[in-house]
Chains A and B, each alone.
Chain A
């Protein structure tokens, strides 16, 4: 049997092997550290540029150059306009990747000094794939944004057309009636009919105007009880209105926000129960509570979607744009207030909170008034009720 004798040259060999392993380890560690920094850099860049495809491509070379790449070019067809970005130098060794989405097409070309092998190949591939995945994600995000906006615009156009057609139809029929009115009795009937129908036409026209024009805010004193009464009456829904408060703000904006809340009850809660609107005020905080009985299925649905109720463009109705509650909340927030959904078992409850500002103050407020505090309502004696 052969035995191994200790030999000084063996010791040297083992030390050499150990040293080589150590050097390889250090080298790989450095490479992976560099790769990790490059990948993190790409993610950070993408975030900083808000996932903008063109900005991302334009600045990504800084990080791509940290792997084995010596050059990078991208030929972009951006909604019919083409542009080419070139970085580093171009060699005979390259890899081409295509990305495509709707009206966006990108051809990326990655250049290497020679055909990469081993760990260099893997590290470069990893960085390239990360870059391409981020780019693909950005393209899809862009397409989704465009699609959502187009859908929103189409819906808005459809809604406006619907309102306009009804306005034209009303004017056309009214014109005929006016031409035919000769006797005092006919005139009386026409006026009675107009008294009933004009408030809703006026409201419709005002809504169209607000949708189509950006107006300078007109701050004025508003009695909330009267405003809510004016907004609800033309909707022909049963309602009860209690309490009152005064506020100094832009009446068109506030009216639009409150109308959106009330119309939401009319459109999404099929019930004969009256909509109870309660106005209360404590110091500078005004609360308007909108409450209506609803079946348990409806209240459960709302509870489960509570987080999404104020999300723009989210709706479970094919007729809605998913903007009503979002815009109502945004408008109230601009005026220093808020709109809250209060989950309940057999009722749908929304609460609008407003700041009662003195006439000398501006209506925009970043104020620190604690709107989340709960206080017992002090309801003024004014009370209106209507069962349409």
Chain B
């Protein structure tokens, strides 16, 4: 896997938009990988690390509804939690759901090039600072919970996220994750089982 810094994944089923976005971002000095479908996007996510993903919500087979885009957004969040996802879409009334699922920014088509670049720069800044924090041993978590569910539920969510993040960061090296958290390997295996965490293989198309 390559380092994520300056790596951007552009997901748009429209080849023309995809190509022009790639051109714009490459001009800004980013390394761009483009995907025209969900399958392609998942394949790239499993093969490379990305700092930012620029994601269109309307993707085949249902390019006129946002569901496929939401599913992919959620999937990327689960598989590359450090990746900042910017939604760039022509779908209306989708901002709430996109932000709820963890989108970093929400851009509505049609939008100026300058606004896209600003958003990308902001996301890159956040990515870089997050990486610095990680190097300093600090991990930022994003929790979304119903307060009525109680503290235990929030604790479990935090636990799941931190384990998930570390497993991704250390390429599912349980020994390293255990060392980092000061736990025994058995504890990590227990948590993997508890939260049903699985390593995604690059041939997985689901």
Contact = CB atoms under 8 A, between A and B. Distances in A.
A169 B113 contact: no
Given A169-B17, A173-B17, A173-B20, 13 more contacts: A158-B64, A162-B90, A166-B14, A166-B16, A170-B20, A172-B110, A173-B113, A186-B27, A193-B20, A198-B16, A318-B62, A319-B64, A320-B62
Contact of A165 (B36, B90, B112): B90
Q: Which of B23, B24, B36, B39 has the most CB of A within 10 A?
A: B23
A266 B60 contact: yes
Given A166-B90, A270-B205, A159 B19 contact: no
Contacts of B109: 165-166, 168-169
Nearest to B20: A173
Contacts of B21: 173
11 contacts: A161-B90, A166-B17, A169-B109, A186-B27, A189-B23, A190-B23, A197-B19, A198-B16, A204-B14, A234-B15, A319-B63
Contacts of A318: 62, 64-65, 67
A258 B198 CA distance: 42
Interface of A: 155, 158-159, 161-162, 165-166, 168-170, 172-174, 176-177, 180, 186, 189-190, 193, 196-198, 200-201, 204, 234, 236, 266-268, 270, 272, 317-320
A176 B27 CA distance: 12
Interface in B104-147: 109-114
A165 B61 contact: no
A193 B23 contact: yes
B102 interface: no
A173 B88 CA distance: 13
A5 to B, nearest CB: 94
A272 B20 CA distance: 25
Contact of B16 (A159, A186, A201, A266): A201
B22 interface: yes
A193 B26 CA distance: 12
B15 A267 contact: no
A61 B35 CA distance: 66
Contacts of B22: 193
Nearest to A168: B110
Interface in B64-123: 64-65, 67, 90-91, 109-114
A169 B115 CA distance: 13
Question: What size tier do the contact residues of chain B reach?
Answer: 20 to 34
Contacts of B61: 267-268, 270, 317, 319
Given A193-B20, A234-B15, A236-B15, A176 B113 contact: yes
A161 B20 CA distance: 20
Contacts of A270: 39, 61, 205
A174 B20 contact: yes
Contacts, number: 93
A272 B42 CA distance: 14
Which 9 A-B pairs have CB atoms at the shortest separation, nearest pair first? A319-B62, A197-B16, A165-B90, A176-B113, A197-B19, A169-B110, A319-B64, A267-B61, A168-B110
B131 to A, nearest CB: 29
Contacts of A319: 61-65
Contacts of A193: 19-20, 22-23
Contacts of A268: 61
Given A170-B20, A270-B39, A318-B67, A196 B110 contact: no
A110 to B, nearest CB: 49
Q: Which of A166, A234, A317 has the most CB of B within 10 A?
A: A166
A8 B122 CA distance: 118
Contacts of B14: 166, 170, 200, 204
B63 A177 contact: no
Interface string B1-43: 0000000000000111111111110010000000010010000
Contacts of B20: 170, 173-174, 177, 193, 197
B60 A165 contact: no
Contact of A196 (B19, B65, B112): B19
B17 A170 contact: yes
A196 B64 contact: no
Given A190-B23, A236-B15, A318-B67, A267 B111 contact: no
A174 B61 CA distance: 27
Contact of A162 (B16, B36, B64, B113): B64
B62 A173 contact: no
A176 B25 CA distance: 13
A318 B21 CA distance: 28
A125 B198 CA distance: 69
Given A200-B14, A319-B62, A169 B111 contact: yes
A234 to B, nearest CB: 6
A174 B19 CA distance: 10
Interface string B163-177: 000000000000000
Interface string B32-62: 0000100100000000000000000010111
A322 to B, nearest CB: 13
Contacts of B114: 176
Contacts of A272: 39
B25 to A, nearest CB: 11
Q: Which of B20, B24, B65, B91 has the most CB of A within 10 A?
A: B20
A155 B22 CA distance: 30
B62 A200 contact: no
A189 B25 CA distance: 13
A159 B113 contact: no
